Amino acid sequence: MKIVEALEVTKTYTLGERRIRVLDEVSLSVADGEFVVVQGSSGSGKSTLLSLLSGLDKPSSGRVLLGERDITDLSEDELAPLRNEAIGFVFQSFHLVPSLTAIENIMFPAELRQDRDAQARAEGLLGRVGLRDRSENFPHQLSGGEKQRVAICRALINNPKIIFADEPTGNLDSLNGKAILDLLFDLRKEGRSTLVLVTHSLDIARAADRVVLLRDGKIEDEKPDAS
């Protein structure tokens, strides 16, 4: 069963008098429970594709389906609860709330759902990424790698059906990077999440079910893995 699908999506931006086409009629479907890695050089459209698939941005043309629901023309008020319930997104720039502690940042999406178990699950996630002793620290008191781990915990707090991650281990050393990947893979093995990751890591790509290569806004190649 398809969990997310892009149908001939194009994304263009206007820069002065120039129109820049970042994605050019890209079609991609991801099956429930699949692990897909998206690769490509800088400017190839990887991050833009993730933003469109997750409903964070809208295509200039084409359609995006989440499950069987066309989300292309949904309003922000319609999209927000859908994203909070079904999607986890890990950004390169973290997007943590400066005025909230680490555990409060993680709990925030669950509290929007009035989840009474939010704190217990947040504490459990912090323990799994080795940050239990940093729960009361604010973002400015955390290193880049620690912020990334908090951001990943926040993305996982609602047990999303699909997780989008843009270079999720880019700010981590090898040991902490492995801990994050183990956590993501554990969720997948438990049958709870589909993974769509943008990464330059060959090791991560080798673990994927499928690798999608973008070049100049188009899918140049798809293969079962990077072996």
Q: Which stretches of the chain are assigned E, i.e. beta strand?
A: 2-15, 18-31, 35-39, 61-66, 69-70, 87-90, 162-166, 194-198, 210-215, 218-223
d(CA 59, CA 167): 22
pTM given for the model: 0.87
State the pLDDT at residue 182. 81
State the pLDDT at residue 225. 58
The domains of the chain are located at 30-51+83-223
Q: In what order do the strands lie in the sheet with 61-66?
A: 18-31, 2-15, 61-66, 69-70
Q: What is the CA radius of gyration of the chain?
A: 17
State the pLDDT at residue 227. 47
Q: Is 138 helix (H, G, I), strand (E, B) or coil?
A: coil
Q: Do residues 164 and 6 lie in contact, with contact meaning Cβ atoms separated by under 8 Å?
A: no
- Each residue's pLDDT, cut to its tens digit, for the chain (227 residues) gives 899 999 999 999 988 888 899 999 999 999 998 999 999 988 899 999 999 999 999 999 999 999 889 999 999 999 988 888 889 888 878 889 999 999 999 999 999 888 999 999 999 999 988 899 999 999 999 988 889 889 989 998 998 889 999 888 777 788 877 777 887 788 777 766 899 999 888 888 888 999 999 999 999 877 775 44
For every residue of 36-64, DSSP letters joined together read: EEEE--TTSSHHHHHHHHTTSS--SEEEE
And the tokens for 99?
Answer: 């005025």
Q: Do residues 86 and 162 lie in contact, with contact meaning Cβ atoms separated by under 8 Å?
A: yes
CATH number at 30-51+83-223: 3.40.50.300
State the pLDDT at residue 191. 63
